[in-house]
């Protein structure tokens, strides 16, 4: 055991494999997306900001639709999650982007020739609401919820 062994452990498996000559390419390259600009794979920062906008919009809508619910209580939280799920599912199914995705110039596309139908988008949203599948992603920035339904988030502008 020497310094390189510890260094590869500290820097992670990707860095260790790259030192051995394995090329990973850029995010989205496997799907024919460009490296940067419109049409490229969306990065984590933009996606998390879009998610925050969608969540904040769900809180606002819940406050308007359910004025008797108190912020911080279980019924309010359940209503926010339901509003979030409906908003993301319906907007993504009809326009390819949720409210937050539109603001940050993102779009959901299929990585195969099969289009994203309503059922796939519903499954993706349900997995997104579970949080954990969305926090496990691959080298292309695709969360587990995207991998299961065969989608990727790209920059639309």
Using a 10 angstrom Cβ sphere, with 0-12 exposed, 13-18 middle and 19 or more buried, the burial of residue 68 is exposed
The stretch 86-114 carries a mean pLDDT of: 94
What percent of the chain clears pLDDT 90, i.e. is strictly above it? 59
Contacts 24+ apart (CB under 8 A), 85-91: 85/125, 85/126, 85/129, 87/54, 87/57, 87/58, 87/61, 88/54, 88/125, 88/128, 89/118, 89/121, 89/122, 89/125
What pTM was estimated for this model as a whole?
Answer: 0.82
**Mean pLDDT over residues 86-94, rounded?**
96
Give per-residue pLDDT as tens, 1-57: 555 555 555 666 666 666 777 777 788 888 888 888 898 889 999 999 999 999 999
């Amino acid at each position: 055991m020497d310094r390189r062994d510890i260094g590869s452990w500290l820097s992670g498996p990707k860095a260790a494999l790259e030192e051995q000559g394995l090329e990973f390419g850029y995010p989205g390259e496997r799907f024919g997306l460009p490296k940067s600009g419109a049409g490229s794979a969306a990065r984590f920062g933009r996606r998390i900001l879009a998610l925050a906008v969608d969540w904040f919009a769900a809180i606002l809508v819940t406050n308007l639709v359910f004025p008797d619910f108190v912020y911080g209580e279980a019924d309010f939280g359940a209503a926010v999650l339901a509003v979030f799920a409906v908003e993301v599912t319906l907007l993504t199914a009809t326009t390819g982007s949720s409210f937050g995705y539109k603001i940050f110039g993102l779009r959901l596309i299929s990585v195969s020739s099969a289009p994203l139908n309503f059922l796939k988008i519903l499954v993706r949203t349900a997995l997104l609401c579970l949080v954990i599948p969305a926090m496990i992603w691959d080298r292309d920035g695709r969360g587990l919820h995207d991998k299961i339904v065969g989608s990727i988030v790209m920059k639309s502008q």
